[in-house]
């Protein structure tokens, strides 16, 4: 049986903790439960304002995660220093705007090519794989390959929020085309953002996509069924 790999984003466990600046709930515990439930990796986004994940979390996650630790981060010098200190297995470069509620779109790799290329190189020199979160546009896929990244993560937000079946189909086509081109160029293909228990299946059907990063839907469901069960249910949906 083949599965699409599941990276569980634990940011919102930390969001709840930071709402009270208490110790609970601990995203580290969520990561360990996710792994026990079959997650193939753990993702944490260290934001510039530290609104959810803290450096303390990264430090303990680095010592405890047994699958793969993926650090999502903005392409800034501060974040590169932190990544070099904690040495996650993978970094995912994402754009970040201070007032945004969540990541709003993919990184414009075409525009930021020179800076991104230097960051990719520094991270890879330290043994860290680099994925770049991009919108499903072919010129962004090509630029991602040009800057030397290992992988793309295709932004599925427009697909997930499509307001009609026609737009949804169009968005799915864009994702499929981006995935095919990336695979042809030798990039690993990941996808994520706003995926949930209801909209994930058509993405799973795209053969080039090998891994999905999912956070909000799993944490939200975990409130009612528990973290283990929420991850398990998602994992079942990723069967091919």
Using CB under 6 A, which of 4, 5, 8, 11 touches ligand PXP?
Answer: 11
Q: With contact defined as beta carbons under 8 Å apart, do 152 and 190 qualify?
A: yes
Q: Which stretch binds ligand PXP (CB under 6 A): 17-25, 26-34, 54-62, 212-220?
A: 212-220
Question: Catalytic annotation on 112?
Answer: no
State the greatest distance between any 2 C-alpha atoms of the chain, in Å, as a whole number. Answer: 47
* Residue 235 binds ligand PXP (CB under 6 A): no
What whole-number distance in Å separates Cα of residue 207 and Cα of residue 5? 12
Tell me the residue length of the chain: 240
216 is a site residue for ligand PXP (CB under 6 A): yes
Binding positions for ligand PXP, 85-104, rule CB under 6 A:
92, 94, 102-103
CA 238 to mean position of chain CA atoms: 16
CB of 9 to ligand PXP, least distance (A): 5
Nearer to ligand PXP, 74 or 80 (CB): 74
Site residues, ligand PXP (CB under 6 A): 9, 11, 45, 72, 92, 94, 102-103, 133, 153, 192-195, 213-217
Active site residues: 45, 72, 193
């Amino acid at each position: 049986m083949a599965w699409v790999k599941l990276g569980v984003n634990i940011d919102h466990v930390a969001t709840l903790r930071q709402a009270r600046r208490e110790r609970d709930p601990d995203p580290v515990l969520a990561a360990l439960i996710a792994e026990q439930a079959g997650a193939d990796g753990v993702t944490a986004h260290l934001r510039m304002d530290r609104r959810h994940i803290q450096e303390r979390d990264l430090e303990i996650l680095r010592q405890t995660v047994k699958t793969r630790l993926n650090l999502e981060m903005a392409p800034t010098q501060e974040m590169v220093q932190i990544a070099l200190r904690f040495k996650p297995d993978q970094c995912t470069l994402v754009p970040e705007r201070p007032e945004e509620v969540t990541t709003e779109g993919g990184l414009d790799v075409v525009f930021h090519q020179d800076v991104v290329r230097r960051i990719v190189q520094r991270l890879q020199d330290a043994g860290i794989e680099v994925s770049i979160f991009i919108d499903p546009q072919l010129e962004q896929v090509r630029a991602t390959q040009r800057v030397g990244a290992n992988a793309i993560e295709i932004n599925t937000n427009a697909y997930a929020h499509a307001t009609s079946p026609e737009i949804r189909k169009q968005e799915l086509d864009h994702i499929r085309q981006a995935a095919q081109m990336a695979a042809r160029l030798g990039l690993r293909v990941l996808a994520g953002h706003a995926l949930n228990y209801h909209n994930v299946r058509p993405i799973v059907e795209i053969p080039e996509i090998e891994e999905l990063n999912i956070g909000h839907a799993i944490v939200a469901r975990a409130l009612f069924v528990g973290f283990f069960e929420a991850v398990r249910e998602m994992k079942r949906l990723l069967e091919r």
